[in-house]
């Protein structure tokens, strides 16, 4: 049964069909599927296939946009259904997508899972300049600053964030965590970030570690 729903979710995203994605997301949840599994094994597989088709020139920007719209709707429905866990570790996290990058589907999933795990989260959106990450972290009283990037060209903004924190004498005040499809542990080490997470679940684990370190 779940395999059929995952397949339908992949198809809905490949077709860029928002109505179908909405229906599959709601049906999957009604049938008792785990929202994170529905996202990981269904919708995310679909959008990854769309990305591969786009990269190899077998799908074009307008279709990518329709698929993204279907993905955004499914994400919204599924995020609202992620059950809240009892928080054993608490802390404040500011999360955004770096300047020059409008990809925010993954960042939004990360924010939802952080909230579901009891962290206080300030989502500062996408295309966020480095100064705003720092300013918002200061105002929010954050413990952790999390940045997401999907473009290789904007990865440099995560490095700039580390540098600006140092310049402002604030690097020791915050822990930093980086993520996004092109980001790796090696990149995190190279720029001096405190943690790297490959997906939202890994992000929760890493934030807990940072808060108890």
* Chain residues in the site for ligand B1M (CB under 6 A): 44, 47-48, 50-51, 54-55, 61, 64-65, 68, 71-72, 95, 100-107, 109-110, 146-148, 150-153, 177, 179-181, 197, 199-200, 203
Selection from 187, 184, 161, 186 nearest residue 174 by Cα: 161
What is the SS3 assignment for 213? Answer: coil
Phi and psi at residue 85, in whole multiples of 5°?
-90, 160
- Quote the CA–CA distance of 122 and 173 in Å, as a whole number: 17
The minimum distance between CB 26 and ligand B1M, in angstroms, equals 19
Q: Return the number of the residue (1 or 94) whose C-beta is nearest ligand B1M.
A: 94
Q: Return the number of the residue (8 or 148) whose C-beta is nearest ligand B1M.
A: 148
The minimum distance between CB 156 and ligand B1M, in angstroms, equals 12
The minimum distance between CB 23 and ligand B1M, in angstroms, equals 20
The minimum distance between CB 168 and ligand B1M, in angstroms, equals 20
The minimum distance between CB 75 and ligand B1M, in angstroms, equals 8
Selection from 85, 183, 96, 172 nearest residue 136 by Cα: 96
Q: Return the number of the residue (1 or 210) whose C-beta is nearest ligand B1M.
A: 210
Q: Return the number of the residue (1 or 40) whose C-beta is nearest ligand B1M.
A: 40
Q: How many residues does the chain have?
A: 213
Q: Return the number of the residue (1 or 29) whose C-beta is nearest ligand B1M.
A: 29
The minimum distance between CB 169 and ligand B1M, in angstroms, equals 23
3-state secondary structure 153-212: HHCHHHHHHHHHHHHCCCCCCCEEEEECCCCCHHHHHHHCCCEECCCHHHHHHHHHHHHH
Q: Which two tokens stand for residue 41?
A: 């094994």
- Quote the CA–CA distance of 122 and 14 in Å, as a whole number: 32
Q: Return the number of the residue (5 or 47) whose C-beta is nearest ligand B1M.
A: 47
């Amino acid at each position: 049964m779940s395999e059929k729903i995952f397949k339908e979710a992949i198809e809905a995203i490949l077709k860029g069909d928002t109505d179908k994605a909405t229906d599959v997301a709601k049906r999957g949840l009604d049938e008792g599927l785990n929202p994170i599994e529905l996202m990981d094994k269904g919708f995310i597989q679909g959008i990854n296939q769309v990305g591969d088709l786009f990269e190899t020139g077998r799908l074009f920007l307008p279709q990518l946009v329709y698929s993204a719209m279907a993905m955004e709707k499914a994400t919204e429905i599924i995020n609202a259904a992620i059950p809240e866990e009892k928080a054993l570790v608490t802390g404040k996290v500011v999360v955004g997508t770096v300047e020059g990058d409008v990809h925010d589907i993954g960042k939004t999933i990360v924010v939802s899972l952080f909230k579901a795990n009891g962290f206080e989260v300030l989502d500062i959106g996408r295309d966020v300049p480095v100064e705003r990450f720092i300013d918002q972290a200061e105002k929010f009283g954050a413990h952790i600053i999390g940045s997401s990037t999907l473009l290789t060209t904007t990865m440099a903004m995560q490095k700039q964030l580390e540098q600006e924190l140092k310049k402002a004498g604030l690097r020791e005040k915050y822990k930093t965590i980086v993520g996004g499809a092109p980001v790796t542990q090696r990149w995190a080490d190279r720029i001096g970030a405190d943690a790297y997470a490959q997906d939202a679940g890994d992000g929760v684990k890493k934030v807990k570690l940072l808060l108890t370190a």
